[in-house]
Amino acid sequence: MAELTGPVHVVGAGLLGTSIGMALTGAGIPVWLSDMNHEHVRTASGLGAGAPTPAGGVAQLVVVAVPPDHIADAVVEALDSGAVVTDVGSVKGRPLAEITDRVGESRLANYVGSHPMAGSERSGPLAASAAMFDGRPWAITPHVHAAPEAVALVEELARLCRAEPVRLSPVEHDRSVARTSHLPHLLAVLAASQLAEALPEQLLLTGQGVRDVTRVAAGDPDLYGQIIRANREAVAELLADVRRDLDRVIEAMAESGEEEATEALGLILARGVAGTRAIPGKHGGPSLDTAAVFVAVPDTPGELARLLSDVGEIGVNIEDLHIDHDPARPVGHVELAVGAAAAEDLREALEARNWTTHR
C-alpha cells in the first residue's frame, strides 16, 4: 500500500491544479505550487492550495496540471527529479507516446497518467474548489512499464482528493472518452451550428430538448479543439461510424417506399434508445427505471424550494430535475425524475398539496 505523505508538487495553478492543492492541503498533505504565471501561484496560495515551490526541494509526487499542448514538456522535466509523476490531461495516449520518445522506456517507470472526470466551463485558480473531485471517477491509466508503487501512489492521490479511482489502459481511456465526451461534444456542435444558421423567427419554437442536446457545445472552442485533436485516432474511428449511420438516416429520408423507410428509420431510432439505456445509473448502479412528474411552478424565488420541500416531506427521492423554460410566461415546468414505482403516488400527493402536475 503506497502512502502519500508529500510533499506533492503541483505544476500549473489553474482550475484543476489549484483544486487538487486545496483538496490535498485539506487532507494534511504538504503541497508546493508552481506556474509560469506567478500571479496564479499567489492566488492559489491565498486560497489555501499550498506554498510556492522551494528552490532545490524534491517532492514525493509531481502532478502536472497544464494545458494539453504543454503536458509532455512538463512531465519530462518532472521525471528528472526522480519523483513519481502524473498528469491530469483529458487525453492519455498521445502525451504518453511523446514522453516515451523523449525519455525512453527505461525512464518511464515513475510516470502514470491520470484524468479526473471533473471540471467547469470556467478556468483559473479563482474557480477552484477543494470539493471538485468529491465522488467523481478519476481515471488512472498506467502503461506497461509503470512501476506498481507509482500506480498505487497516483491512486492514493485520487482517493485523497475524495475521487473514485478507475483503472484503464491509456488506449481504453482514450476510446472511452471519445465515445462519452468528444463525439457527443462534436454532435452537439453540429446540432447547434444549424441554429446559428436559423432565422430568429424559426427559433421561437425551441423546447427543452434542443437546449439539452446543444448545451455542451457552448464550451471554450480553443480548449475543446486541443483536446479533441489530441484524441484524433479514437475520435476519427467513431466519426467514420457516425458518417455511415448518418448516410443511413439520409437514405431512410429519401426512400420512396413508406414501409421500408419507416422500418429503416425505426431501427436507427431504436438503437438510440438502447444507447440511452446503456448509460450507468446514479452512483454507478444499474440504470434506474424512472418516470417523470411535471409540476407547474411560479417563477419566483422560493417556489421551487417549497416544491422540493413538499417532495421531501412526501418522502420521495428525486433522481433528476429539469427546469423547462417557458418562452412566454412566468410559470416554469419542473420535471422531476423519480423511481417509476413512486411517480403516481408523488403526483397524487402533490395535487393534494395544491400543485398542478402532469406526467
Of residues 317-346, those binding its own copies (CB under 8 A):
317-323, 325-331, 333
Of the residues 277, 289, 340, 348, which one makes contact with its own copies according to CB under 8 A: 277
> Which of 147, 210 has the CB closer to its own copies?
210
| 85 conformational bin, left if phi > 0, alpha if psi -120 to 50, beta if neither | beta
**Rg of the chain in Å (alpha carbons):** 24
Residue 309 is a binding residue for its own copies (CB under 8 A): yes
The residue written with cell numbers 520518445 in the block is: 101
CB 16 within 8 A of CB 116: yes
- Contacts with its own copies by CB under 8 A: the residue count is 147
Is the CB of 56 or the CB of 285 nearer to its own copies? Answer: 285
The stretches of the chain forming alpha helices (DSSP H) are: 15-26, 38-46, 71-79, 93-103, 148-160, 170-177, 183-196, 208-214, 221-230, 232-254, 258-278, 303-314, 343-352
- Asked if 157 is part of the footprint of its own copies (rule: CB under 8 A), the reply reads no
Contacts of 175 (CB under 8 A, 6+ apart): 234
The stretch among 40-48, 51-59, 102-110, 293-301 that binds its own copies (CB under 8 A) is 293-301
CB of 34 to its own copies, least distance (A): 22
CB of 84 to its own copies, least distance (A): 23
Single out the segment in contact with its own copies by CB under 8 A; choices: 1-9, 57-65, 149-157, 178-186: 178-186
Subset of 184-203 contacting its own copies (CB under 8 A): 184-198, 200-203
Residue 114's Cβ-count burial label (10 Å; 0-12, 13-18, 19+) is buried
* CA neighbours closer than 13 Å in the CB half-sphere of residue 24: 30
Map the footprint of its own copies across residues 70-89, applying CB under 8 A.
none
- Of residues 13 and 108, the one with the C-beta less far from its own copies: 13
**DSSP class of residue 332?**
E
Half-sphere exposure of 48 toward its Cβ, with a 13 Å CA cutoff?
9
Range in contact with its own copies (rule: CB under 8 A) among 3-11, 75-83, 127-135, 151-159: 127-135
Q: Does 171 bind its own copies (CB under 8 A)?
A: no
The answer to whether the peptide bond before residue 7 is cis (omega within 30 degrees of 0) is yes
Residue closer to its own copies by CB (options 147, 242) is 242
Site for its own copies in 223-252 (CB under 8 A): 224-226, 228-229, 232, 235-236, 238-243, 245-247, 249-250, 252
Q: Is 353 in the site for its own copies (CB under 8 A)?
A: no
